[in-house]
Amino acid sequence: MPNTEILDTNAPRMDIRDRVAELDSLPVIPQLARRLLELRDDPDATVEQLVDVVKMDPGLASLIIRYANSPLYGQHDVDNLNDAVFRVLGYENVLNLALGKALSQAFRLPGLGPMGLAAFWHNAIFSAALLQKLATRHGRQWHIQPGNAWLCGLVHNIGYLVLAALFESEYFWLNKALLAKPDVPVMDMEARLLGVTHAELGQRLMEAWDMPAVLHAVAGEHHNPAYQGEHEAMVWLVQVTDQLLRSHSMSDAASDEPDASLLEKLGLPEEELYLAMDDVLEAGDVLEAMVKGFG
């Protein structure tokens, strides 16, 4: 039975669901993200076109090259973007990595707190890397491409960015409450204190931006172990990776034990999850650099 005891403050319960429903518009999708989505939807798009778009953001290009040289890919000697795409990462991986960073540029987060800038990007980057590693090894059985797994990991908590951007005062109170009661599940805290959850806000944003349906599902259902639907394997995979990351203080999951029933549904042995995590931690220096670069 989850602990629903909430921080005692004299702050009123702030039901923002009606305010969300009345918003004329959510933040506008960044231009770089729009261009990347055009490439994603174009069956004739080329690697050269992708490289040209990525080069518009030198910081992003540098991060991609560094990622291509990480232990996750055998530490290749890559010193330019073309080699990163052609020799190591591939078109789909680079497109989704770039898209995730571009989407985040619509928002800014406060620096500190359990849902501050550093905490958000640690979860996003390590989750993306872990999901991509698992999809590389086992994605065929789930019909999940590694690049899509990366993007799902990177944006599954994007509802926090919406909350921080549109409801600054509420975000302040939520951070304060979570600092005081770190053992209370975040979804319980949000529902009691705000009347809306980051999952609801994230799903609304993905729909408003006309993002792929898998992102709607992941953003909206990544705390729901009972979810069933077309993209259930991706949703379940996000949940078990977040649970594992909780044991490394990098997740808002309610438990730090991977859900055995979800692992069984996925056909994923628990030891495989931990082996993939070991590989991700080995690349920790590169991923920490990406945390700083994305933030």
The three-class DSSP label of residue 235 is helix
Tell me: the pLDDT tens digits for 119-158?
A: 888 999 999 999 999 999 998 999 999 989 999 999 999 9
Could you tell me if 49 and 71 lie in one domain? yes
Could you tell me if 91 and 157 lie in one domain? no
Q: Which of 105, 128, 148 marks a domain boundary?
A: 105
CATH of the domain at 211: 1.10.3210.10
Could you tell me if 172 and 213 lie in one domain? yes
Could you tell me if 96 and 210 lie in one domain? no
Does residue 12 belong to any structural domain of this protein?
Answer: no
Beta strands in the chain (DSSP E): none
Could you tell me if 142 and 280 lie in one domain? yes
Q: Which of 62, 78, 105 marks a domain boundary?
A: 105
In terms of C-beta density within 10 A (0-12 exposed, 13-18 middle, 19 or more buried), how is residue 22 classed?
exposed
Does residue 11 belong to any structural domain of this protein?
Answer: no
Could you tell me if 184 and 246 lie in one domain? yes
pLDDT interval class at 5 (50, 70, 90) = very low
The three-class DSSP label of residue 289 is helix
User: How many residues does this entry show for the chain?
Assistant: 295
CA distance 269 to 249: 23
Does residue 197 belong to any structural domain of this protein?
Answer: yes
Does residue 204 belong to any structural domain of this protein?
Answer: yes
Could you tell me if 91 and 134 lie in one domain? no
Give the per-residue pLDDT at 217. Answer: 97
Mean pLDDT of the chain: 85
| Residue closest to 240 by CA, chosen among 212, 217, 213, 261 | 261
Q: What is the DSSP letter of 248?
A: T
Could you tell me if 144 and 263 lie in one domain? yes
Could you tell me if 96 and 115 lie in one domain? no
Tell me: the pLDDT tens digits for 249-279?
A: 999 999 999 999 999 999 999 999 999 999 9
Q: Which of 85, 105, 125 marks a domain boundary?
A: 105
In Å, how far are 108, 133, 174, 206, 220 from 160, measured between CA atoms? 10, 25, 11, 13, 12
Tokens of 156: 């599954």
CB 93 within 8 A of CB 55: no
Give the per-residue pLDDT at 271. Answer: 95
pLDDT interval class at 13 (50, 70, 90) = low
Tokens of 79: 């010193």
Tell me: the pLDDT tens digits for 34-92?
A: 888 899 888 899 999 999 998 888 888 888 898 888 888 876 788 888 988 888 888 98
Residues sharing a CB contact under 8 Å with residue 177, sequence separation 6 or more, in sequence order: 6, 7, 9, 184, 189, 193
Does residue 112 belong to any structural domain of this protein?
Answer: yes
pLDDT for 14 beyond 60: no
Could you tell me if 59 and 191 lie in one domain? no
pLDDT interval class at 2 (50, 70, 90) = very low
Could you tell me if 92 and 133 lie in one domain? no
Domain count, the chain: 2
* Domain ranges, residue 61: 31-105
Q: Rounded to two decimals, what is the model's pTM?
A: 0.85
Could you tell me if 100 and 155 lie in one domain? no
CA distance 212 to 162: 18
Does residue 84 belong to any structural domain of this protein?
Answer: yes
| Residue closest to 31 by CA, chosen among 120, 124, 98 | 98
CB 184 within 8 A of CB 3: yes
CA distance 266 to 259: 11
Q: What is the DSSP letter of 223?
A: T
Does residue 6 belong to any structural domain of this protein?
Answer: no
Does residue 3 belong to any structural domain of this protein?
Answer: no
